[in-house]
Every structure is written in C-alpha cells, then in structure tokens.
Amino acid sequence: MNHNMIRVLVVDDSAIVRELITEVLSASPDISVVGTASDASLAFEAVNVLRPDVLTLDIDMPEIDGLTFLRRLMRQHPMPVVVISSALTEGSDLALEALRLGAVDVVPKPGGPHSIGEIRFRLPERIRAAAVARIKSRTVHGEQAAGKIVYGASVDRGDLIAIGASTGGTEAILEVLRQLPRDSPPIVVVQHIPPLFSARFADRLNEICRMAVREARDGEPLTTGLALIAPGNRHLLVKGSPGRFHACLRDGPPVNYSRPSVDVLFASVAECAGPHAIGVILTGMGSDGAAGLLRMRRAGAYTIAEDKSTCAVFGMPREAIRLNAACVVAPLHNCPSVLMKHLAQNGAIKEERQCKS
C-alpha cells in the first residue's frame, strides 16, 4: 500500500455523480477513493470508519443537507472538504457559506461535456490542495487593545494595494479587508474562484467591510475607498499612473494554470505603480503570484507574504518567500496592521492616535 496516497470519501446522493467522481479521481496515481456515501448519515459513519484525508460533498442531499452536515463535521471531525454541487449557481450564497463553514474549495457539479472535461482536469489538483490544507478555527484573531493604532483619512498620493490568494483565500481576504479603514487607498484583488461566485464574493465583502467592494469592470477608475475583485475566468490588470489608475479586464490564456492570475495582476501593478504600490500574497496552492510579487519588490513596492502559521495552504507565500519577494512575512491577523503602518510611515494615511490599555 502506498502510504502517500490521498484517501478520499465521495458524498453525493446521485449514483451517477459518485461514479463519475470516483472514476476521475481514481485515474490519478496519488489519489484513492476509499468509499462513497449517498447521504449525511452514511457519510458520518464512513468518516469514522475510513478516516479519509479529504471528503467531497454535495450540498443538495436528502434529510440532512450538505451545509448542515458540513457544520456538524467541522465541530466533530474537522477535515478538508471540497464541495461539488449543482446548487452552486450564479448569485447563490451557498458556496460562500460552505467556505465560511470550513470547506477548502467549491466546484460546480459537471453538467455537460465541457464541464466534465474541466472537472477531469481540475478536480484532482483541487483534492491535492485540500489534502495539504490546514483546517483551523474560523475565529478572527483580535489585536490587543493596548497600543492598537487607529488610522484616519487617506492622503491621496496615488498609492495602490494589490492582493492575491487561492485556496483558503476567501476568508483570508475578508480578514484583511474588514480591518482596513473606509478611505483606504484603492485595492485590487485576485482570488482564484469560479466565474459563478466572484460577483457574490464581492457583494459579501461589500456587506461586511468599511470600504466599497465590487466585482471589477473594464476601464473602471481605481479610487480611494474602493476594492475591486477580479471576475472569475478573466485576468485583472491595472493601467495608468499614480492617482489615475484604472482596471483592465482581459481574457487571454491562463497563467500558472489560473485565470485570473495573481502574477498577471502583480506584474501590471509593478509596471504602472512601482514604489506607490503594496503587494500582499496570501494562502494558496502553487506558485501564482510569487514571480509577480518579486517584480513588484524590484520596482520599489512594499511587499507582504502571509506566514506559514496561518496559511490554509502554504504554497504561494512559500514560493514568494523563497524568491526573496517579500519585504515582510507576517501572520494573517497582523497583515492589515503591517500594511497600514507602512502607509502611515510613508504619509499615505494619517495615524490618528494610540489606544490606551
């Protein structure tokens, strides 16, 4: 027996889908489907008996729905979960709720020849990413009250913040953006996410964060207090000059197997913003964004990589650190304060006061 095999449990009420997922995953020499389950009750039993490394989960199941199952699973037996469901439709909150509850990734259920081809290509790599993911509490790390910095108005120096993430990134991006002030310098974000979910992801951030957040539109100006999220399946670039940046959306081929690609965004920011930029690379599998962050640093930008201790998957930040692309390595809960302190020190945002204990 190969002890390096990734052991997968497939949970879906459709026998056809269970068979398809099993066939797709079994074609990979490093993945073994150790069992299947047609409902949540059988899935709980299988988890206890088989102890899989990764579980694939449908949302729309009889008796106990997938989200209820996921909530109980994460309390009783936390483990990497990849949601594969036809319920993950455009405008649906189910995908984001699954990620909030602890799922590592969400994948639309195949519904045609093209999507079946996509899942054959993409699903094994999603399983590999999930297998190495750090499953942790979703509680937000609070900063200590004593000495916490409060920031005031942004100074319009033409600064720009670029953020990139992949596996585990939806919650990491939320953690960063929710701590930034209403009038932060403009922010551009690439998160590897399916096309159906990027607009709703932006909407969710807009509901929670102080600044305005929306899905990027081609040609849209980047203004103070605005964060733009790359649409799924389109590259996001920044063009213009400090104080006059605008978003550009492009199709083009995937870069690092990704569209949108963090490297594409970071390279464009390095070119047009140089020392006026801050680059942040967060959790994710692979190396997308590492070379782009190095280009940003060489162009004079201030660059931050998330520390291994808080990454769901320490892939993209690890590669950036290996290339010496990061000026600072910080745990996720410290990234916003590191970012804002840099802006304050460089006169891009006013530091108003220190909180007293």
**320 with 326: CB under 8 angstroms?**
yes
Interval 300-336: pLDDT, tens:
999 999 999 999 999 999 999 999 999 999 999 999 9
Please give the share of the chain, as a percent, with pLDDT higher than 90.
73
Closest to 236 (Cα-Cα) out of 276, 294, 275, 186: 186
**134 with 311: CB under 8 angstroms?**
yes
Average pLDDT, the chain: 88
CA dist 130 and 340 (Å) reads 32
> Residue 121, class by beta-carbon neighbours within 10 Å (0-12 exposed, 13-18 middle, 19+ buried)?
exposed
Distances (CA, A) of 179 to 20, 155, 227: 42, 18, 13
Classified by CATH at the fold level, domain 149-354 comes out as Rossmann fold (3.40.50)
**161 with 186: CB under 8 angstroms?**
yes
Name residues whose C-beta falls within 8 Å of residue 3's C-beta, 6 or more positions apart in sequence: none
Mean pLDDT of the 135-157 span? 48
Interval 229-240: pLDDT, tens:
999 999 999 999
Q: What six digits make up the tokens of 281?
A: 């690379």
Closest to 59 (Cα-Cα) out of 18, 23, 108, 100: 108
Distances (CA, A) of 150 to 180, 347, 352, 354: 10, 15, 6, 6
The answer to whether the peptide bond before residue 113 is cis (omega within 30 degrees of 0) is no
Interval 240-265: pLDDT, tens:
999 899 999 999 999 998 999 999 99
pLDDT at 2: 57
Domains 6-131 and 149-354 share a fold: yes
Question: What are the extents of the domains in the chain?
Answer: 6-131, 149-354
Tell me the whole-structure pTM to 2 decimals: 0.84
Mean pLDDT of the 173-196 span? 92
The β-bridge relationship of strands 277-281 and 246-250 is unpaired
**6 with 125: CB under 8 angstroms?**
no
Angle between helices 169-177 and 335-345 (to 10 degrees): 40
Q: Phi and psi at residue 27, in whole multiples of 5°?
A: -75, -15
Residue located via tokens 């640093």:
297
Query: Predicted confidence band at 189 (pLDDT cuts at 50, 70, 90)?
Result: very high
CA dist 118 and 233 (Å) reads 13
Residue located via tokens 């009889």:
62
Q: What six digits make up the tokens of 129?
A: 């990413």
Classified by CATH at the fold level, domain 6-131 comes out as Rossmann fold (3.40.50)
**273 with 238: CB under 8 angstroms?**
yes
Give the DSSP H/E element, type plus range, for residue 154: strand 149-154
Mean pLDDT of the 16-30 span? 94
Give the DSSP H/E element, type plus range, for residue 352: strand 349-354
pLDDT at 188: 98
Which residues are the active-site residues? 166, 192, 288
